[in-house]
């Protein structure tokens, strides 16, 4: 069988615009065109979502997911029966128990960053199985300058503090997320690939996110939007190498 490991954001669902307002008709039309074409291209593949969404948020994606699911940045793996995989859940719970103090302090740091810098940002601590899972930092009006300042300060806090090896900071559009290093999509995708051993004819990775390069590299082929951040990042690295 052909399996497509797909991040739905900006491939099957439009990412929010930087100003928080709906995209204009041309942008919406172009996205719908690409999504329709991508759906036809992947028609023969079994779709496996790899996303930061939870179970409820995934229901809003206009696609049918009947196989494995990788949710919440790899913290949750759902099996084809629609149940959370027990073995993966045990690993996640162990990790969250070890990183609980670090995540609580990261949450406090995110709150202080918004307050002391008068940035107007909002921090949220997301829990799973009764333990801290990740910290999200957003701005109610998606102001780029506030998010840029918060990202820089939060990254400095992490880099210069005692949790540098325990947590990681990622940015997807107007959302900043800090979570344990052990929680990542590539580990979960690798786990699913092991479970599918013997069934796989071909694997395809599909994503527009610059944070997904590692899990894409686990697939036989990778598909990324030509105008997406992942390709722009690759082009920027190539340009830097050419200048050296």
Say what the pTM is.
0.86
Relative to beta strand 131-138, strand 122-128 is antiparallel
pLDDT tens sequence across 71-122: 999 999 999 999 999 999 999 999 999 999 999 999 999 999 999 999 999 9
pLDDT tens sequence across 58-85: 999 988 899 999 999 999 999 999 999 9
Q: Answer whether 223's CB lies under 8 Å from 206's CB.
A: yes
What helix, strand, coil percent values describe the chain, rounded to 5? 45, 20, 35
User: What pLDDT sits at residue 229?
Assistant: 63
Residue 10 has pLDDT above 60, yes or no: yes
Across the range 164-192, mean pLDDT stands at 95
User: What pLDDT sits at residue 186?
Assistant: 96
Relative to beta strand 202-206, strand 2-6 is parallel
Tell me how far CA of residue 126 lies from CA of 76, 96, 138, 176, 191, in angstroms: 13, 12, 13, 13, 24
In three-state secondary structure terms, 37 is helix
> Is pLDDT larger for residue 172 or for residue 148?
148
pLDDT tens sequence across 18-41: 444 444 444 567 767 887 888 888
Percent of the chain with pLDDT over 90: 69
Instruction: Tell me which residue has tokens 């099957």.
Output: 12
Across the range 119-126, mean pLDDT stands at 96
State the Cα–Cα distance between residues 7 and 51, nearest whole angstrom.
Answer: 5
What are 180's two structure tokens? 């344990």
Instruction: Tell me which residue has tokens 């740091």.
Output: 109
Residue 43 has pLDDT above 70, yes or no: yes
State the Cα–Cα distance between residues 126 and 143, nearest whole angstrom.
Answer: 22
Domains of the chain, first to last: 2-75+184-243 (3.40.50.1000), 99-180 (3.30.980)
């Amino acid at each position: 069988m052909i399996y497509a490991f797909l991040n739905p954001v900006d491939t099957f669902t439009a990412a929010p615009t930087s100003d928080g307002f709906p995209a204009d008709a041309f942008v919406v039309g172009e996205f719908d065109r690409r999504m329709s074409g991508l759906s036809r291209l992947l028609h023969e593949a079994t779709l496996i979502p790899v996303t930061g969404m939870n179970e409820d948020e995934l229901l809003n994606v206009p696609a049918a997911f009947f196989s494995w699911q990788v949710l919440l940045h790899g913290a949750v793996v759902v099996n084809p029966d629609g149940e959370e995989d027990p073995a993966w859940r045990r690993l996640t719970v162990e990790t969250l128990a070890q990183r609980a103090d670090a995540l609580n302090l990261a949450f406090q740091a995110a709150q202080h960053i918004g307050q002391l810098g008068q940035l107007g940002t909002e921090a949220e601590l997301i829990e799973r199985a009764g333990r801290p899972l990740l910290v999200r930092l957003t701005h109610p009006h998606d102001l780029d300058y506030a998010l840029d300042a918060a990202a820089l300060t939060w990254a400095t806090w992490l880099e210069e503090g005692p949790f540098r090896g325990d947590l990681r900071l990622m940015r997807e559009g107007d959302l900043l997320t800090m979570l344990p290093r052990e929680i990542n999509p590539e580990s979960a995708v690798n786990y699913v690939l092991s479970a599918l051993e013997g069934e796989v004819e071909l694997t395809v990775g599909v994503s527009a996110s610059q944070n997904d390069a590692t899990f894409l590299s686990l697939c036989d082929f990778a598909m990324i939007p030509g105008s997406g951040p992942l390709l722009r990042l690759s082009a920027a690295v190539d340009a830097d190498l050419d200048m050296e």
